Amino acid sequence: MVNRRRILYLAASSRWNGTGKYVQELALYAVRLNFDVAVSGARHGALIERLGALDIPYFEMRSFWSVLAILFRFRPHILHTADPRSAVIGGLAFLVYRIVFLRFDSANIHTVRGWTFTEPRGRLNRMLRKAAERMRCLLCDTIILLSRADHQTALEYRIAPKRKLTVVPPGIDPRGVAVLARDEARAKLLETEFRDRIVIGTIGEFIRIKGHRYLLEAFASLKYAFHERDPRRAPLLHLLLIGTGGAFEELRRKAEILKIENDITFVANAASASPYCSAFDIFVLPSLAGASSYTLLEAALAKLPVIATDVGGNPDIIKHDKTGLLIPPRNAGKIAAGIERLIANPEFACRLGSGLHEHVVKNFALSESLSKTFTLY
């Protein structure tokens, strides 16, 4: 009997977010290539249910010792970590595993979904995070980066030697994303009175790094500006936010302070948001930092006009005035100006959506992304 190569994927979270989708795609592809595969992560989450439906083994990751026990039991040839916490815990445990079992031919691969020290934090915090990133990378044999910007940042700040770094852009398979018809998506998400309005919004976890507050401020300023100019001709706008996360109530309070609570719909804990991209007229990604966003790829499949901040891997996907609008982060005024421009020029907005769709289908194929990743194994 052939002894198949084994891969263990490690992710501290088991939520169905960008990291969760990434891990599932890799695990499923590995199974198709006849690897033995297992995934380890948090105790609860939608990812566990999805992997169970695919008959992919899942182990709970509680601590360094639990990861070490999983390694000793599963004995992988390859460890692939998908977030900072799993890179540290998994990297240290994998080092012990290599020594005990003399598995020096094994490989420790880590995917970076944006460098944490580039996030808007205090100077000391960023210094500590930079040191932590260097330690994580020291434990790894190969570091996968999702964007050219992250590659450049790694070299600029000497996070890891160039020989360890490789850029593998994210990918998406149009056949794997079932986008609902516009009316159907709106019927599922919005109250009847809002379904004929211009719907602006985003999809992403309700955490501060996603920049939702700037979108709320932009929406409020635009709404009141339209009414001040001509109340009778002011376009009817509605804000739709889909996501999960701890800052949900904080955003609700922010909407009340801005007096837009009656013009906003929050959709929390959606099992999968991608089918609902068609509910938007304009998609905004106001992130403050991060890697290439999976939601941008999903928005592209729905041919949405997109406004995105010029951070991380967004510029690889959004080419200003060709496949979307790129704006600086933390700037509600620029978001508002971009939205107003798209509302005033529907043909231009349509061209951007079509251009983005063509660009993503041509340059961000999931098959190519997976194939390039597996050459590193």
Least confident of 82-96, 163-177, 233-247: 233-247
Tell me which of 17-21, 55-59, 82-86, 159-163 is least confident. 17-21
Region of poorest pLDDT, from 40-54, 99-113, 265-279, 341-355:
265-279
Residues 6+ apart with CB under 8 A from 121: 129
CB atoms < 10 A from the CB of 63, how many?
10
pLDDT band at 244 (very low <50, low <70, confident <90, very high): confident
| Residue 3 clears pLDDT 80, i.e. is over it | no
Mean of pLDDT values over 116-130 = 90
| Alpha helices (runs of H) in 54-208, residue ranges in sequence order | 64-74, 84-101, 123-139, 148-156, 182-189
- Residue 257 near residue 206 (C-beta atoms within 8 A): no
Q: Which of 305, 264, 265 is nearest to 285 (CA)?
A: 305
The answer to whether residues 294 and 147 touch, using CB atoms and an 8 Å cutoff, is no
Calculated CA dihedral for residues 266, 272, 277, 278, nearest 10 degrees: -100
- Tell me what pLDDT residue 1 has: 41
- Is residue 271 scored above 70 in pLDDT? no
Superfamily of domain 6-173+365-374: Glycogen Phosphorylase B; (3.40.50.2000)
Distance (Å, rounded) from C-alpha 315 to C-alpha 318?
A: 5
More confidently predicted of 245 and 349: 349
**Beta carbons of 170 and 146 less than 8 angstroms apart:** yes
Q: What is the mean pLDDT of residues 33-54?
A: 93
Under 8 Å CB-to-CB from 279, ≥6 apart: which residues?
Answer: 180, 182, 185, 186, 189, 190, 199, 201, 240
Cα 3 from Cα 189, distance rounded (Å): 49
Among the listed residues 346, 214, 237, the one whose alpha carbon sits nearest the alpha carbon of residue 288:
214
Which residue ranges make up each domain of the chain?
Answer: 6-173+365-374, 176-363
Q: What is the amino acid identity at position 196?
A: D
Cβ atoms 217, 332 nearer than 8 A: yes
Model pTM score: 0.90
Residues above pLDDT 70, as percent of the chain:
98
CA distance linking residue 300 with residue 132, whole number of Å: 34
Using the predicted structure, report yes or no on whether residue 270 has a pLDDT greater than 90. no
Percent of the chain predicted with pLDDT > 90: 81
Residue 121, helix vs strand vs coil? coil
Query: How many helices (H) and strands (E) would you count in the chain?
Result: 14, 13
Rg (alpha carbons) of the chain, rounded to whole number: 22
CATH of domain 176-363: 3.40.50.2000
Nearest alpha carbon to residue 373 among 82, 60, 36, 67: 82
As a 3-state breakdown, the chain gives helix, strand, coil percent values, each rounded to 5, of: 50, 15, 35
pLDDT single digits (tens) 162-221: 999 999 999 999 988 888 999 999 999 999 999 999 999 999 888 888 999 999 999 999
Calculate the dihedral angle through the C-alpha atoms of 115, 6, 367, 311, rounding to the nearest 10 degrees.
0
Mean residue pLDDT of the chain comes to 93
- The rounded distance, in Å, linking the Cα atoms of 59 and 209 is 29
**CA angle 48–290–366, rounded 5-degree value:** 60
| Start-to-end C-alpha separation, the chain | 22
Task: Please enumerate in sequence order all residues whose Cβ is within 8 A of that of 154, keeping only pairs 6 or more positions apart, or say none.
Answer: 112, 115, 137, 143, 145, 160, 165
Place of tokens 């804000």: 239
Which of 75, 57, 46 is CA-nearest to residue 269? Answer: 46
pLDDT digits (tens, 9 = 90+) for 134-165: 999 999 999 999 999 999 999 999 999 999 99
Query: CB–CB of 78/6 below 8 Å?
Result: yes
HSE-CB for 5 with a 13 A CA cutoff? 15
